[in-house]
Every structure is written in C-alpha cells, then in structure tokens.
Amino acid sequence: MLDLFAGTGAAGIEALSRGASNALFVDSSPAAIATIHENLRRAKLTGSGTVRRADAVRAVREQRGQFDLVILDPPYRLPEASVEALLDEIAGRRLVARGGRVLLTRHSRSYTPVIPLDWRIERQLSYGDAVILVFQAQ
C-alpha cells in the first residue's frame, strides 16, 4: 500500500495491522517522517514499512510497481487542481493495480475531483468535516 501525505502513518499502519504485506509512507515533513518511524517501531512493524521524505508528486513520478491500495490525505489547503493533477499522475503511471483502491480525503465543502477515466467511484463516506472518496481502478 502507498500512504501519501502520511502524517503520523496511522492509515498505513492500520493497513499493515489488517494484513497488508508492506507499506510505503511518503511525507515531506521531517517531523512527520520521525513520527512515522516511531509509530512503526511502537507497532513492531518496522520491517513492513518503508518511509520516504519526499513531495507526493515527486514520489509518484519516481515510483515503480503497483499498489493494491493508495491513500491520499492531502492538506485541505492544497488546491483542487493540484489534487486532480496528482490523481492523474497516479493513474497515468498505473500505480494502482487493477481492482485496487484509492482513498482520497477532502473537506466536506470541497467538490468531487475529476477522476481518471479508468477509475470509478465506489463509495463516498462522510465523517464530520471530512469526506473520503473511494475509487476503484478498472
């Protein structure tokens, strides 16, 4: 699984605890990277997680291989055009395996982004001021 804008690493660590074989955590913040390392250590999952300090777009452009699950939790202040460009980059590089899922968290007042042609919206979940859009790669 790929956890972009990983923050504390909670989403990826949860995926690992539920059976994901490995996770790549990406965040640009040095504090977030330190926190992810510490949280992986505490969860005894250091062997299953790779942590990378990088901008999400650069990480996606440099990534090889496919993921069954990609989680994106970008800051709400990230412009919608940037979110759409990142989704296009992920789809264009075929980082999501066929049948794999992409989870995108956005503010409930933001609009639903234009999604890549070979993805479909599977679900939309609302939690307080957050909306999680679940896409499936076809």
* Mean pLDDT, residues 2-31: 97
Per-residue model confidence (pLDDT) at position 112: 81
Average pLDDT over residues 7-24: 96
Residue 115 is assigned to a structural domain of this protein: no
Rounded to two decimals, what is the model's pTM?
A: 0.94
Residue 39 placed within a domain: yes
pLDDT digits (tens, 9 = 90+) for 35-77: 999 999 999 999 999 999 999 999 999 998 999 999 999 999 9
CATH of the domain at 50: 3.40.50.150
7: left (phi over 0), alpha (psi -120 to 50) or beta: left
Residue 18 belongs to some domain of the structure: yes
Residue 94 in any domain: the answer is no
Does the residue 14 lie in any domain?
A: yes
Residue at token pair 């042609």: 117
For residue 27, count CB atoms less than 10 angstroms from its CB and return exposed for 0-12, middle for 13-18, buried for 19 or more: buried
Biggest CA–CA distance in the chain, Å, is: 40
Helix (H, G, I), strand (E, B) or coil at 78: coil
**55 is a domain residue:** yes
Beta bridge partners of residue 131, listed in sequence order: 106, 126
The per-residue pLDDT for 67 is 97
Confidence of residue 11 (pLDDT cuts 50, 70, 90): very high
Provide the domain count of the chain. Answer: 1
Residue 46's pLDDT is what?
Answer: 94
Integer Cα distance of 32 and 131 in angstroms: 23
The boundaries of the domain holding residue 47 are 1-63
Q: What percent of the chain has pLDDT over 70?
A: 100
Please check whether residue 127 lies inside any domain of the structure. no
Tokens 């070979």, residue located: 118
End-to-end CA distance of the chain: 17
